[in-house]
Amino acid sequence: MSHTAHIRSHRKPRRSASSIVVRTGVAGGVLSTLAVAGAAGYANAAEAEPVTQTLELPTLTADVATQVAQSADATQQAAANYELQAERDAAAASAAKQAKADLADAQQKAEAKKKAQEEARKQAAARATRNAERTVLSASASTDAGSSTVTGSSSATGSAASIVSFVKAQVGKAYVSGATGPSAYDCSGLVQTAFKQVGISLPRVSQDQSTAGTQVSLDSLQPGDILYWGSAGSAYHVGVYVGDGMFVGAQNPSTGVVERPLSYDQPTGAVRVL
């Protein structure tokens, strides 16, 4: 026995073949595992392609959102258009109603104006006819009377004096159709009011006043006699003889109550009430 047999060798023992095989197997298993894992990863990567496709969904979603927004804008615009159209229709209806009312008002005013013009024409025609009748009657009376002068008393006494004084006091006042004083008169209103001062009640209109007393000729007039123009019973104007060839009468709206000579407007006849 060697004297060194009990001493262990410092060299590393050789690895056995079985150990190498085992190690080799382990390494191969690891490689196999890596290969399988790689294949699995590849397979998983292949299967993950649909996921890559779903990544495009945000683009599709954005398009849909844009379409929805556009649709909302279109709906809002349509609503605004409908509202605007409704306002226009309401405005048009209001304008049509106002135009109809304005037309009716204009037609009413035109009709009123037409009536007023027609009435004015009638009054003008009546005045023209009356003036023509006065002219004819005056000419006729002048022809019948010739150059004769009015005789009879020119001084008033008693009731006649009161009547003459009253009518002379009204000279200058207005002529208003239908008026009987105290600030305005028409022709028969002045005569009626004058005789009322002495307690005599006369008819209201000229036609009746021309037959209210005794007919007298124009060459024998006395103060207080009633003068008339036209024929007795259908006279269109009256006045009061105040003496000295003068009379007082409410002639027309232009002159009012005036004192004039008989030659100014020759009367047709006269009646005596006093």
pLDDT tens for 106-130 read 888 888 888 878 777 776 666 666 5
Contact status, residue 196 vs residue 187, Cβ threshold 8 Å: no
What's the pLDDT at 54?
Answer: 52
Rounded to whole angstroms, how far apart are CA atoms 92 and 90?
5
pLDDT tens digits, residue range 135-193? 544 444 444 444 334 444 457 789 999 999 999 999 999 999 999 999 999 999 999 99
Give helix 187-196 / helix 158-169 axis angle, nearest 10°. 140
Across the chain, how many H-helices and E-strands are there?
6, 8
pTM: 0.47
What are the angstrom distances between the C-alpha of 266 and each of 141, 165, 253? 7, 22, 19
Question: 3-class SS at 271?
Answer: strand
Rounded to whole angstroms, how far apart are CA atoms 3 and 37?
57
pLDDT tens digits, residue range 36-84? 444 444 444 445 455 455 555 555 466 767 777 788 888 888 888 888 8
Residue 239 one-letter amino acid: G
Q: Does domain 148-272 have CATH number 3.90.1720.10?
A: yes
What's the pLDDT at 263?
Answer: 94
Domain boundaries in the chain?
94-147, 148-272
Beta bridge partners of 269: 228
**Average pLDDT of span 86-99:** 87
pLDDT tens digits, residue range 233-274? 999 999 999 999 999 999 999 999 999 999 999 999 999 998
Question: 3-class SS at 253?
Answer: coil
Query: What percent of the chain clears pLDDT 90, i.e. is strictly above it?
Result: 43
Q: How confident is the model at residue 17 (pLDDT cuts 50, 70, 90)?
A: very low
Question: 3-class SS at 113?
Answer: helix
